[in-house]
Structure 1
Amino acid sequence: MENLQKNLSTSVLAEILENAFQWFVVVDADSKILYINEDYCSFLEVKREEAIGRPVADIIENTKMHEVIKSGVPDNASPHYIKGTYMLANRVPLFVDGKIVGAFGSVIFRDMSDWKKLSSHVRNTMERIQLNIEDNSYTEYRLGDIKGTSPAIRKIKETIEIIAPSDLPVLIEGESGTGKDMFAHSIHQLSERSDYPFVKVNCAAIPPELLEKEIFGVLDHNNGTLRNGRYKQADKGTLYIDEISALPLTLQAKLLRAMQEEEITPLNSENSEKVNVRIVVSSNVALSKLIEEKKFRADLYYRLQAITLSIPPLRERMEDFIDILNYFLQKFMLQAGRRHVTLATKTREILQSYHWPGNVRELQNILQAAVFLAENDIILPSALPSQIKLSNVPSFQTTGTLENILAEVEKKVLQSYLEEESDKIRIAKQLGLSRSTLYEKIKKHNL
């Protein structure tokens, strides 16, 4: 090795690194880029001179280089979701005299054909991803689709990566709209069952009297035909029971028995059949509270709760807000066929100050509509629903004479509208004023 190092000049080593099949990046102890090869820069669409010295997280999305430096533990053959596809990466800490001085990262497989040399599980997974690229109707989510780097979300993602390969049941709790479906899909996609069905049943969306046949199937006595339920449809795969809190107590007992015995008995049938299913459930209310109210079986809860993922509401992880916002903007721009849509500064401020009772789903719906309503490729506050704008109405004094209070309210309302809209004719129409009256009030308040 020493002879090799002596006989290879720096220029030759640089030539090897630049023309190697892999993409390389080297960072220092502060996670700043010391070296990155040109091929990698081309893929990332960044100039190398601009990348050198920058934090690696600014250049490479979803990087884990900083985590490897912090832990000192290599992260080998790890899926890395970047620029719309999965790659396989190695990340190794660099030590000098027992001290971490940086880390070395390489992308070792960067397209689908390379992945096919791997194990059958990974190969099949990548074929599913390729199918997703070719067919936009494929809607299952992956861990990389869950945006955010807040401590709570990082912890949940780490837990999913650990428990996904097992067959343990998982309970996902969180308010409506927090994205529980995405977490359930991610567990399935990372599991050994990913090549088999992911079947969802929403207990709150199906009338209680129909739930048993929908989940467990039904035997038609008239013609002897057996119609499989969702449980059987998920055989070898994952059954996701959404809003399990709406499952009647009688069916909770039947579900527990099915989980324990790994077999089901369809409605109207006396014959049971073996079914190999992993159970993932979700609830927008705490099941422990329902047990106290005698609305949920304690024995089923204890079977489900060993692994519980508590998804925080959006208002409690606002550090993730910009990542989620940008993700949806890009997604809906593509859907709307618009090349470039931006948020006005005031619009962004309003969105960030809102309390989001409907969580991520509410943000998603509002942005989807706003992209279509954008004027000159800018989303103005006028494109937002009234409940969003009303929550951002400035405060005003509540002391003094009624005349003074009303005058201050009038001034602040006018000020708010003028910040959002430059067309005074439109403002007058929105406020139900004549144009001359609007100008008088603007003059009166020195606006």
Structure 2
Amino acid sequence: MPYGINFSSDEMVDFLIKVLDSDPECFVFVDSEARVIWLNKAYQSYLNVKLEEAQGKPVVDVIPNTRLQVVVKTGIPELGKVQNINGRRAIVNRIPLFKDGKIIVAIGKVLFKTKKEFAELVSKLKEEVDCYKRELNEIYTSKWKFEDIITCSPNLIHVKDLAQKVAPVDVNVMILGESGSGKELLAHSIHSASTRSSKPFVCINCAAIPENIMESELFGYEPGAFTNAKSNGKLGKLEIANNGTVFLDEIGDMPPFMQAKLLRFLQEGELEKVGSVKPVSVNVRVICATNRNIQKMVEDGIFRADLYYRLSSIILKIPPLRERPEDIELLCDHFLKSITEKWAIPLKKIDKEALEILKNYYWPGNVRELQHLLETLCCITDGNIIKAKALPSYLFGQSDSAMLKNNELRRISLSNINSDGNNKYICSDVINSKEKELLEEVLRNTGGNKRKAAEMLGIHRTTLYYKLRKYNMQYKVN
């Protein structure tokens, strides 16, 4: 017994109860089965429960988010822990008391923060949020600007100039072009020159997302929305892009049910997460791209006309590399410099003979194919000059007639582009028509033999198969 105090056990208990009842902090006592023994008045008041109502009940049924039952089970005290109790954050100590090696009681002490402490906590949390925002912006930011578009082609320069004009204007843009022609590069450049450049730029490849998860990827989901959903839910790509730009690549591959949901989002400026009925306002600029004939898809009812018109306020058509052979040398110089710097090897150049072969190749994979070819050549070429003999065999053997046809196609493409850019689709239609005629002529001459046809055209057989599928041409091999 402490000096100067002469209480019986019962008197001591009464004394302690009076002391704790007068304390503004909250106290709770539980037994060895984590059932409530006692709550002081401050805690009764905060929980809006009477002592006689709480006594004997499991503590988990009385105090939200408590861990006293865990402390009773483990015997391990928990000090200075943060707990959310009825919407307020508090600092909590949970202490087990032992007798003869067994827990007889556990005490919980709760201290709700002062305004000053809350202000300090909010300040700290704000710093953390700002840090995460900076990290997020580094992930979702544009990589390229208009000066990264390497060209001296009048055709592509016209597209680039138009893109620079519309970049600061908050309108949706549709970019058309073959695979590897630079659609994503142009989309990044538009965002970089826009008023949203400091905000997120989020890329979504509609062809790469499985149909069954596309809605949750774009719109996000609430906790427990479906099996295996994250317990805290997930932000969708559209919400991540809020106040910035979303780039919908391969928009032509978006399934019909998602087209309807995307249209509603564009009309309302709101989205609903999977598992939620509460709309979330989101403000984004949409840039989309496709390598498909989307106008034909609209005519055939595959792509919604109303969505097409929403997305295509401005249409930019990137010409394929075969229509701008004057860019080959510029691109070779650019990529060779970039590749050799990245790999820390001596700068390599390409000789005139090899360059002429590259200029007359068809380039079904466009700029991306050229870049990958140059990477390969940098690996296998001895010395600093890439010569014609180092080029892969499929680039050789192009006959004079095939070269003439290629040049004819290029002349047609340039002659059908007006300075005002109004004839956006004539060029593509004429080239496709001439290309199909050439394929039909060569296949007739070879009796449908695709290997011989590819040799006559000076292209790889995989390129020939790609073109046959493109024009839905079926020929039997003799």
Q: What aligned pairs does 1:393-404 form with structure 2 within 5 A after superposition?
A: none
TM-score, normalised by the number of residues in structure 2: 0.52
Aligned partners of 2:306 and 2:142: how far apart in 1?
Answer: 34
1:198 aligned partner: 201
Matching residue's letter, 1:176 = S
1:328 aligned partner: 335
Structure 1 regions of 5+ residues with no counterpart?
1-130, 396-447
2:279 aligned partner: 272
Aligned partners of 2:141 and 2:314: how far apart in 1?
Answer: 28
Question: Does residue 188 of structure 1 match 2:195?
Answer: no
Question: Does residue 165 of structure 1 match 2:168?
Answer: yes
Q: After TM superposition, give the deviation of residue 344 of structure 1 in Å.
A: 2.8
Matching residue's letter, 2:350 = L
Aligned partners of 2:339 and 2:361: how far apart in 1?
Answer: 21
Aligned partners of 1:186 and 1:202: how far apart in 2?
Answer: 18
Which of residues 147, 166, 180 in structure 1 aligns to 2:150? 147
Q: Secondary structure at the match of 2:310?
A: helix
Between Structure 1 and Structure 2, whose CA radius of gyration is higher? 2
Q: After TM superposition, give the deviation of residue 393 of structure 1 in Å.
A: 9.6
Aligned partners of 1:281 and 1:348: how far apart in 2?
Answer: 34
For the structure 1 residues 329 and 270, does the alpha-carbon distance in structure 2 shift closer, same or farther, using more than 3 Å as the test? same
RMSD: 2.4
Question: Does residue 307 of structure 1 match 2:314?
Answer: yes
Question: Does residue 370 of structure 1 match 2:377?
Answer: yes
User: Could you report, residue by residue, the CA deviation over 1:374-423 in whole angstroms, capped at 9, with x for unpaired residues?
Assistant: 2111213343333223547999xxxxxxxxxxxxxxxxxxxxxxxxxxxx
For the structure 1 residues 385 and 210, does the alpha-carbon distance in structure 2 shift closer, same or farther, using more than 3 Å as the test? farther
Which of residues 344, 353, 371 in structure 2 aligns to 1:337? 344
Q: After TM superposition, give the deviation of residue 350 of structure 1 in Å.
A: 1.4
Aligned partners of 1:353 and 1:160: how far apart in 2?
Answer: 28
Aligned partners of 1:172 and 1:394: how far apart in 2?
Answer: 33
Aligned partners of 2:154 and 2:401: how far apart in 1?
Answer: 32
Aligned partners of 2:338 and 2:399: how far apart in 1?
Answer: 26
1:288 aligned partner: 295
For the structure 1 residues 371 and 195, does the alpha-carbon distance in structure 2 shift closer, same or farther, using more than 3 Å as the test? same
Which of residues 236, 240, 252 in structure 2 aligns to 1:233? 240
User: Could you report, residue by residue, the CA deviation over 1:271-292 in whole angstroms, capped at 9, with x for unpaired residues?
Assistant: 1100111100000012111012
User: Could you report, residue by residue, the CA deviation over 1:70-112 in whole angstroms, capped at 9, with x for unpaired residues?
Assistant: xxxxxxxxxxxxxxxxxxxxxxxxxxxxxxxxxxxxxxxxxxx
1:408 aligned partner: none
Q: After TM superposition, give the deviation of residue 180 of structure 1 in Å.
A: 0.2
Q: Secondary structure at the match of 2:179?
A: coil
Matching residue's letter, 1:294 = G
Report if aligned partners of 1:336, 1:372 keep a CA contact under 8 Å in 2. Answer: no
Aligned partners of 2:305 and 2:141: how far apart in 1?
Answer: 37
Aligned partners of 1:383 and 1:392: how far apart in 2?
Answer: 20
Question: Does residue 221 of structure 1 match 2:203?
Answer: no
Q: Secondary structure at the match of 2:332?
A: helix
Q: Secondary structure at the match of 1:285?
A: coil
Q: After TM superposition, give the deviation of residue 172 of structure 1 in Å.
A: 0.3
Q: After TM superposition, give the deviation of residue 370 of structure 1 in Å.
A: 0.8
Matching residue's letter, 1:361 = R
For the structure 1 residues 171 and 394, does the alpha-carbon distance in structure 2 shift closer, same or farther, using more than 3 Å as the test? closer
Which of residues 357, 362, 365 in structure 2 aligns to 1:355? 362
Matching residue's letter, 2:317 = S
Bigger mean CA deviation after superposition, 180-189 or 381-390: 381-390
Aligned partners of 1:226 and 1:258: how far apart in 2?
Answer: 20
For the structure 1 residues 147 and 262, does the alpha-carbon distance in structure 2 shift closer, same or farther, using more than 3 Å as the test? same
Aligned partners of 2:195 and 2:247: how far apart in 1?
Answer: 16
Q: Secondary structure at the match of 1:356?
A: coil
2:451 aligned partner: none
Q: After TM superposition, give the deviation of residue 226 of structure 1 in Å.
A: 2.6
Q: Secondary structure at the match of 2:163?
A: helix
2:254 aligned partner: 247
Aligned partners of 2:220 and 2:155: how far apart in 1?
Answer: 38
Aligned partners of 1:150 and 1:361: how far apart in 2?
Answer: 17
For the structure 1 residues 335 and 165, does the alpha-carbon distance in structure 2 shift closer, same or farther, using more than 3 Å as the test? same
Report if aligned partners of 1:350, 1:392 keep a CA contact under 8 Å in 2. Answer: no
Q: After TM superposition, give the deviation of residue 299 of structure 1 in Å.
A: 0.2
Aligned partners of 1:280 and 1:138: how far apart in 2?
Answer: 14
Aligned partners of 2:373 and 2:151: how far apart in 1?
Answer: 19
Aligned partners of 1:390 and 1:266: how far apart in 2?
Answer: 56
Q: Secondary structure at the match of 1:225?
A: coil
Percent identity of equivalent pairs: 40
Matching residue's letter, 2:340 = M
2:267 aligned partner: 260
Aligned partners of 1:379 and 1:344: how far apart in 2?
Answer: 6
Q: After TM superposition, give the deviation of residue 138 of structure 1 in Å.
A: 8.2
Matching residue's letter, 1:144 = E
Q: What aligned pairs does 1:34-113 form with structure 2 within 5 A after superposition?
A: none
Residue-pair matches, total: 262
Matching residue's letter, 1:291 = V
Q: After TM superposition, give the deviation of residue 224 of structure 1 in Å.
A: 6.0
Which of residues 384, 393, 414 in structure 1 aligns to 2:391? 384
For the structure 1 residues 299 and 343, does the alpha-carbon distance in structure 2 shift closer, same or farther, using more than 3 Å as the test? same
User: Could you report, residue by residue, the CA deviation over 1:281-308 in whole angstroms, capped at 9, with x for unpaired residues?
Assistant: 0000121110122210000001111200
For the structure 1 residues 231 and 331, does the alpha-carbon distance in structure 2 shift closer, same or farther, using more than 3 Å as the test? same
TM-score, normalised by the number of residues in structure 1: 0.55
For the structure 1 residues 139 and 336, does the alpha-carbon distance in structure 2 shift closer, same or farther, using more than 3 Å as the test? farther
For the structure 1 residues 193 and 253, does the alpha-carbon distance in structure 2 shift closer, same or farther, using more than 3 Å as the test? same
Q: What aligned pairs does 1:94-133 form with structure 2 within 5 A after superposition?
A: none
Matching residue's letter, 2:149 = I
Q: Secondary structure at the match of 1:205?
A: coil
1:435 aligned partner: none
Matching residue's letter, 1:298 = A
Q: After TM superposition, give the deviation of residue 371 of structure 1 in Å.
A: 1.4
Q: Secondary structure at the match of 1:318?
A: coil
